[in-house]
């Protein structure tokens, strides 16, 4: 008997689930270098997978079975499991679920159009995905800043405060009044405004250069009857930033801007859970994010990071 016939015989024996020497036969066939061994190994793997599915199905069936039934005895279960093992082997040997063919294509690399596993694993590199997302955010932000500095005829974003200290000191009296109405901390209101405007360095101004005093990114919907300014903004879609144009509300003062923020939060039904948790700043912003206040998936954590900063917590009115 030649080497090929010997390997084939060993493969045939390996297909019997009740043959405890099957694994050893398969190992010997692999050592012979027979090209059919990979296919056989893939079929054995598929058989194990099918057997696990059948076993799970049997467990579900046993949970509903009559304990006093003669068909529910341990002897019946023993022979039933042996039948399922052999059934799994036979199914995988005759086409099965197609899992074996996928394994052969992946490991055999005989199909030039099939993508190798190494490239698939590279696509799963989370650090690479996060890096690309961060770069996308940076590019979008740079584009928006370049547009603003070029002197666009539409609205733009510019600094309204000299720095963080000026931002906190100027905003605190109005934030204190707003926080009292919402039942939250004035510093929490300031932290949210800081995130929305980059500590007041990117406040929306209309095309005439007048500040909109909109520190919370509140957009001008159909119900808004006041002035508005259209400006480029970043919106997140599935975690990826996109540059869009949007109309934002315009106010004549910081006081009116914060008053409208309070009215906006208190009158919107979707923000009622946030108002109910106003005493807890972290929960307040989590509820705002869950309700769709911002599209940035990290919005709440960013606001809380600013809220805990020395610039906010260290301020004494």
Tens-digit pLDDT string for the chain (317 aa): 454 454 444 445 445 554 545 555 555 555 555 556 667 777 777 778 778 887 877 776 666 566 666 666 777 777 777 887 777 777 777 766 777 677 666 665 555 555 554 444 444 445 555 566 566 655 555 554 444 444 445 788 899 999 999 999 999 999 999 999 999 999 999 999 999 999 999 999 998 899 999 999 898 888 888 998 888 776 666 666 667 778 899 999 999 999 999 999 999 999 999 999 999 999 999 999 999 998 888 999 999 999 999 999 999 88
Question: Given 232, 260, 287, 296, which residue is catalytic?
Answer: 260
260 given a catalytic annotation:
yes
pLDDT for 152 equals 42
Multiple choice CATH, 152-313, 3.40.50.10330, 1.10.530.10, 1.20.1260.10, 3.10.270.10: 1.10.530.10
pLDDT for 156 equals 86
DSSP alpha helices (H): ranges in the chain?
3-14, 22-31, 37-64, 74-93, 99-108, 117-123, 126-149, 164-182, 186-197, 254-267, 272-276, 281-290, 299-307, 310-313
235 given a catalytic annotation:
yes
What distance in Å separates the CA atoms of residue 205 and residue 209, rounded to the nearest whole number?
5
- Tell me if 271 sits within 8 A of 293, measured CB to CB: yes
Residue with tokens 């917590």: 313
Structure tokens at 288: 């705002």
Domain segments of the chain: what residues?
3-123, 152-313
pLDDT for 10 equals 45
- Tell me if 265 sits within 8 A of 287, measured CB to CB: no
Question: Given 235, 280, 287, 296, which residue is catalytic?
Answer: 235
Length of the chain: 317
């Amino acid at each position: 008997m030649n080497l090929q016939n010997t390997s084939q015989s060993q493969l045939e024996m390996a297909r019997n689930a009740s043959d405890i020497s099957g694994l050893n036969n398969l190992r010997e066939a692999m050592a012979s270098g027979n090209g059919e061994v990979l296919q056989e190994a893939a079929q054995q793997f598929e058989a194990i997978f099918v057997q696990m599915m059948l076993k799970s199905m049997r467990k579900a069936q046993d949970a509903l079975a009559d304990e006093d039934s003669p068909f529910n005895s341990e002897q019946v279960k023993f022979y039933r499991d042996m039948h399922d093992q052999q059934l799994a082997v036979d199914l995988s040997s005759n086409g099965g679920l197609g899992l074996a063919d996928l394994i052969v294509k992946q490991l055999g690399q005989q199909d030039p159009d099939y993508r190798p596993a190494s490239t698939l694993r590279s696509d799963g590199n989370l650090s690479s995905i996060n890096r690309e997302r961060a770069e996308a955010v940076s590019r979008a932000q740079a584009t928006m800043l370049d547009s603003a500095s070029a002197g666009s005829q539409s609205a733009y974003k510019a600094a309204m405060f000299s720095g963080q200290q000026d931002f906190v000191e100027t905003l605190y009296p109005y934030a204190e009044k707003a926080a009292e109405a919402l039942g939250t901390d004035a510093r929490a209101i300031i932290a949210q405004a800081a995130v929305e405007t980059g500590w007041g360095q990117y406040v929306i101004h209309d095309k005439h250069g007048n500040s909109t005093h909109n520190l919370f990114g509140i957009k001008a919907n159909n119900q808004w009857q006041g002035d508005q300014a259209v400006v480029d903004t970043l919106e997140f879609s599935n975690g990826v930033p996109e540059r869009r144009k949007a109309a934002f509300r315009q106010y004549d003062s910081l006081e009116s801007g914060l008053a409208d923020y309070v009215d906006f939060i208190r009158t919107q039904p979707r923000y009622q859970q946030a108002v109910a948790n106003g005493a807890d700043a972290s929960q307040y912003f989590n509820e705002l994010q869950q309700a769709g206040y911002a599209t940035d998936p990290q919005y709440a954590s960013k606001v809380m990071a600013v809220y805990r900063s020395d610039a906010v917590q260290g301020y004494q009115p």
